[in-house]
Amino acid sequence: MKTIKFVLPFFVFLFLSCLCLSTWANSSIDNNNIVITDYHQIFIPCYDKNGNLLIAIRMYFIGATPYYLVVNPYTFATESAPAANFKNRNISSKGNTTPGYYTWDQIKNTPYMKVLFRYTSGPYPMNNYGVTHAEHAVNGEFLTVDMCPSAKPFEEQFFKALVAIANRNHQPVPLAISLTGIWMIEHPKEFNWLTQQEKANTLQITWTNHTFSHLYYPDLPINQNFLLTTESNITHEILDTEKMLLEKHQLPSVFFRFPGLVSNKKLVLMMRHFGLIPIASNAWLAKGQQAKIGSIILVHGNSNEPQGIKDFMPMLQYSNLNLLPLSKAF
């Protein structure tokens, strides 16, 4: 009897604990995820139903339905929709001798294509290749936050400080998050928290591609490291994070950050092929570089470089920092 008295409450406790745990686990799983297949690079100019010129840079399938990821070559904004929503000829130009054709001249002179070609042309320095600051006069700075793979929880205080500023100013804080697929897989709750902030209109996130695995060997020289390792599957490194973002109802942007900011000519030309603009930095705070007007600021949000966050927090509190979306750098 004594045993039953002891054992019964124990089993009730065990049962309730399991119930609580499974409820918690289920609540953290997003059942609305979609499954994408055959995600691949394309380059197909097209028009939306209003006759706006767009460029499809990825094609994929959800079930049997073909989809495009398109970029607006004037605003750099991306959008994903069934391929059937787009037309390959401009339906508003009826009666032309070449009805609705786009020309290469028209495509290559769009702001997006000009920037893509400018930032994938030589010379090709190994370090910090890409956009380091705004191309024209701006009244603010661009915050880029790298999420390389990390065993630690993210910089919670830093992200919450950004949200607090959004709440104070009643407008979302723009930032570009350089995302790796591995960070996303290993930090599902933190990734969900970030997407919740987007929904709540506190963070305006530009998802920048930072490769899937961000391979790094501390015992290899830099010129054989990161994406320069010969074993890397570069196509998958580029495409897999984008695909995972779309499966979570997030839009990949046309911006890319090289892991370690290390690249070579071959990789940069691959970026051109994939339609991705390399984003470097002239204000990597942890390296002692100061942010100026127009700077692309670089910090790590994955807790792997606390010095950068330590340097950034006072700027957020006391300076006239005016953060801008990355697309405004062009």
Binding site for Zn ion (CB under 5 A): 146, 148, 259
Q: Using an 8 Å Cβ cutoff, are 117 and 271 in contact?
A: no
Q: Of 231, 325, 234, nearest to 274 (Cα)? A: 234
Identity of the residue, 72 or 144, whose beta carbon is nearer to Zn ion in the bound complex: 144
Q: In whole angstroms, what separates CA 165 from the centre of its chain?
A: 22
Least spacing, CB of residue 326 vs Zn ion, in Å: 16
Q: Using an 8 Å Cβ cutoff, are 138 and 329 in contact?
A: yes
Least spacing, CB of residue 148 vs Zn ion, in Å: 3
Spell out the residues 6+ positions from residue 98 whose beta carbon is closer than 8 angstroms to its own: none
Least spacing, CB of residue 150 vs Zn ion, in Å: 10
Laid out side by side, the sheet with 36-47 consists of: 36-47, 53-62, 65-71, 78-82
Identity of the residue, 148 or 173, whose beta carbon is nearer to Zn ion in the bound complex: 148
Q: Using an 8 Å Cβ cutoff, are 11 and 17 in contact?
A: no
Least spacing, CB of residue 144 vs Zn ion, in Å: 10
54 DSSP β-pair partners: 46
Identity of the residue, 264 or 304, whose beta carbon is nearer to Zn ion in the bound complex: 304
Residue number with the shortest CB distance to Zn ion? 148
Least spacing, CB of residue 263 vs Zn ion, in Å: 13
Query: By CB neighbour count within 10 A (0-12 exposed, 13-18 middle, 19+ buried), where does 21 fall?
Result: exposed
Strands 36-47 and 142-147: unpaired
Identity of the residue, 45 or 301, whose beta carbon is nearer to Zn ion in the bound complex: 301
Identity of the residue, 259 or 301, whose beta carbon is nearer to Zn ion in the bound complex: 259
Identity of the residue, 148 or 175, whose beta carbon is nearer to Zn ion in the bound complex: 148
Least spacing, CB of residue 259 vs Zn ion, in Å: 5
